[in-house]
Structures are given as structure tokens and as C-alpha cells.
Amino acid sequence: MTMTIRSQIPPEPELSPAAPTPSAVPVQPNPEQPALDESDQTSQGHDDDRDREGFKFPHPKLRLEIRDLNHPGASKFLGAVNAATILSDAVKNVQRLLYRSAADKHTSCPPTRSVTVILRDMGGVAYTTGTDLDSDHKEIHFSLSYIAAHIPSSPPSRLPAELTGVLTHELVHCYQWDAHGTAPGGLIEGIADWVRLNCDLSPPHWKREVKLDDPWDKGYQHTAYFLQYLEGSFGEGTVRRINERLRSTREYQEDEFWVGLLGQGVKDLWCEYCASVGGDDEDESK
């Protein structure tokens, strides 16, 4: 039996004030990486995907399914981005930020074999789910209604970055670890938005909104900026270490996880982060 757990990205504030409960799509460890498909070649702007050591991340089979070509969101999507390269480039960015290199012995990239993006008329923005085939095959469901409605709420020039940002966030859920389903949903969503942030795809409304009485794992951009602070405080690769520890941890225990990884409790780290950006009195944009 295959369990399907959805991870949903919240709508923009102007489209829906209610944010759904975040959850991760679990990735099952698989020591055997799939053979590389030589037909999965480099995307536009990348002549060679191999790193300095000559290794290459396995590239998943990528598919795009549009349920309704007559929907106004379909034409806006196809007119805003290059459908042949947007997913390939986003996968490479996710792999680079979470795993650095295929030759990195300190991180283990999951063997995701295929990702199918399904554009359809639905509420919300997007969510990621596993498939009945097996846990190495993923689906990203993306709302045509959201795509159609986005231009009136933002300059048309923002649409390509918004589409790429949403897809990048959802692709993180195809490649991250989650302590066998026990990690806080806010941490999982925060890592996804941290990747989006570091691809320079953050929307204009994102801000460093910090309050001491807020939970550190509030999720999405709130936790993403906290993770960015940890990256700066503990060195480049800190978020990779967090993700890798979520792979090796059988059951997430907050104190054990963070003290063992960074030498401090996460609540103390959150207090330090709040103080670094002005605590309750200051909201800082990136």
C-alpha cells in the first residue's frame, strides 16, 4: 500500500487568507541510484551538468499535463515560461542547493525518477503528492485558476518568476528528507521556501516578520528567513546538514536534533534570530 501525503503551498494573501496545514511528501531512502537516461540532456543555458568531479545528479523524467487548454491559465502559463526548460532548470537548482554536488559524500540525494506537473482547475495554488506507482514518482498539481488570477494582482512581468518560484518550492518536496514523516511541517515548508529564496524567486510581499512569541516553525517564508540566518551564522551548507540529518533521523526529537546538529536548542536560536532583525519592533524585507 502506498500512502499519499500532500504538501500544499498557501495562496497569496489577496487570493485566500487561509493557509492550509503544511505536510511533507516522504521520500523513502534508496541506496541504488537509477541509471542515467542519456535522453535527459541539459537544458537551455547549461552545456554540461557535470560537476568539477565529473559526476552528474540523476535527472528525473519530467512531464507536463494540461487538463484544460481552453482555460485562460493555460495560455498564460505557456506564454510566460519555456515549458521545455523551466522544470529542468528548477530541478538542477534544487539539487545544487540541497546537495551541492553529486560527488558530495556528506549528502544523499533521493532517487526521484519522475515528476509530472499537472495544470488543472482547482482551489489554492499547488501541492505535491506521491503516485500509486511507487514513492520515487511524484506529481505536482498546479492551479490554472491561480495562474489566471495572478496577473491582475501583480505586474505581468512578475508572472514568470512567480510560476518558477511555485514550481521550485514544490520540486523541493520531491527531493527533501523529512525524518520518516516525523519532522515539523513548518520546517519542511521552510526549507522549500529557503530554496526559493536562494534562487532569487521570492515574491515582493515576503518580509522578515519576527516576533518572539511566534513559533520558529511557522513555516514558509517565515521559517525560510530563519534558516537563512542559520546559514549565515553556522556557515554555508547548514541547511544541507539539516536536510541530511532529516534523512538519517528515524524520529524527530527537537532538542536532540538541534543540539546535536548546531550545539544549541532551536528556541534559543530563534530568539537570537529575532534579536538580530529587531525583534517585535522591526519587519525587514530581504
Mind listing the pLDDT tens digit for each residue in 60-102?
A: 999 999 999 999 999 999 999 998 899 999 999 999 999 988 8
Question: What is the per-residue pLDDT across 222-235, written as a single tens digit (0 to 9) for each?
Answer: 999 999 999 999 99
Q: Which comes out higher in pLDDT, residue 190 or 42?
A: 190
Q: Which comes out higher in pLDDT, residue 132 or 126?
A: 126
Residue 196 to residue 162: CA distance in whole angstroms: 10
- Element at 244 (helix H, strand E): helix 238-248
Question: What is the per-residue pLDDT across 269-285, written as a single tens digit (0 to 9) for each?
Answer: 999 999 998 744 444 44
Question: What is the per-residue pLDDT across 203-220, written as a single tens digit (0 to 9) for each?
Answer: 998 988 887 889 999 999
259 pLDDT tier (thresholds 50, 70, 90): very high
Average pLDDT for the chain: 83
Instruction: Enumerate residues 6+ apart whose C-beta is below 8 A from 77.
Output: 66, 83, 119, 144, 147, 163
- CB-CB neighbours of 7 under 10 Å: 27
Q: Is 219 left (phi over 0), alpha (psi -120 to 50) or beta?
A: left
pLDDT attached to residue 153: 62
C-alpha cell at position 238? 547548514
Instruction: Enumerate residues 6+ apart whose C-beta is below 8 A from 278.
Output: 210, 284
The residues with which 114 forms a beta bridge, in sequence order, are 61, 137
Question: What is the per-residue pLDDT across 161-203, written as a single tens digit (0 to 9) for each?
Answer: 999 999 999 999 999 999 999 999 999 999 999 999 999 999 9
Residue 85 to residue 4: CA distance in whole angstroms: 28
pTM of the model: 0.81
Strand positions, DSSP E, 21-83 = 61-66
Does the pLDDT at position 41 exceed 60?
no
Residue 242 to residue 219: CA distance in whole angstroms: 15
pLDDT attached to residue 5: 40
Residue 216 to residue 269: CA distance in whole angstroms: 9
54 pLDDT tier (thresholds 50, 70, 90): low
What is the separation of C-alpha 49 from the centre of its chain, rounded to a whole number of angstroms? 21
Crossing angle, helix 72-80 and helix 144-153, to 10 degrees? 70
Least confident of 22-36, 99-113, 204-218: 22-36
pLDDT attached to residue 10: 60
Q: Quote the DSSP letter at residue 209.
A: E
Under DSSP, is residue 227 helix (H, G, I), strand (E, B) or coil? helix
Under DSSP, is residue 55 helix (H, G, I), strand (E, B) or coil? coil
Residue 131 to residue 150: CA distance in whole angstroms: 28
1 pLDDT tier (thresholds 50, 70, 90): very low
Cα R_g (the chain), whole angstroms = 18
pLDDT attached to residue 12: 52
